[in-house]
A and B are shown apart, each in its own frame.
Chain A
Amino acid sequence: MTAPLMTSGVLSPSYDLFFALLIGIGFGFFLERAGFGSARKLVAQFYLTDLSVFKVMFTALVTAMVGVIFLNRIGFLDIGELPLIGTYMAPMVVGGLILGSGFAIGGY
């Protein structure tokens, strides 16, 4: 399969950090567009006055998910090369609870 382009050799690894910067710029741009530069807008999710965090996050998940499945089906993207994280249930749930609590206190 042709993608990921970095691991399949289509793109030279020397461009690695250039694309890191580019991807970061895109990510930051849309996060701010959505209003996530504002701590009050972020925490409004937890007072149920503005559900943007939910809407943005799950739309992003579904979009990327559908793209990954489609690109894999047409034989373009090798899913085996993507970052699958092992399941460590207890630390992930405890870490999530701590992070979530800090999210509401600090406003990220």
Chain B
Amino acid sequence: MGGVQSALNPAGPQAGDIATLTWWFLGVCTLVYVAVIAATAWAIFRRRAASDDSPETTAWLARGVVGAVGVTIVILVALTVSSVVAGRGLTSATGSEPVVVDVIGYQWWWEFQYRSSNPSEIVNSPNELHIPVGVPVGIRAISRDVIHSFWVPRLHGKRDLIPGIETSMWIQADRPGVYRGQCAEFCGHQHAHMAFVVVAEPADAFQSWLAHQRRGAPSPSNADQQRGHDVFMGGACVMCHTIRGTTAGSRIGPDLTHVAGRQTIAAGTLPTSREHLARWVVDPQAIKPGNRMPPNPMSDADLQALLTYLETLR
């Protein structure tokens, strides 16, 4: 029942409703199943008596059948109604949403964009969604290529990301923690490696995280970092990635302004570490075949300098 990605281990009101509904369905259906099997066994093993054709027995059996049909109808209607009521309660947001996040799906990673009326304060947090605890968070989901599906089993059900259409939902985490999410609609080669983490934290921690994300990257402070910076800006990296505060501003790949501060790289594929970054930069196709990042053969000295620079991007 445990685990960071189990719908049976709910951490929010909606996932809680879904889990309750699941258990009720399972319980009721199990009872009905046991009753039907018992009745069948009784019918098989019961001896046929001489009085079976008497009007009293026939009437008694007919009442039994009518009663069973009635109970079946009542149970089915009750389950349907409870399912619809729970579903409506989950989808329609009640009251205001203090935080609204745009979720943008790409093959094969996620972009979480925090809205702001000031364009320079819009925050991009690829593959890591931070939310404040205890308040509804609005999700506005679109896709840039194919259909994806946003699913954090411990917080809510699935919601598809459809090209050309904005879908919406809201989620809420009741206690701080790290929850794992996963694309739930087959979207190509690396569908299985399209994961993300949801970090739920108290409101003040969330606000300080947001304020930190709004800051650009620090300038290189020594020769090694400067060399790494130059490798980044002079090579293929700059064609696809953004590092705010520098001249790198492409929007094809994930924003790397705070890449070393995130828990995972490559959409939940590897935990962030210098070694994993090195393997990923040099040959991403060996780790996640088919992803859109090209391999980057480079000299060892250049690679080490680049890693040193990337590690300053916290």
Partners in one complex: no
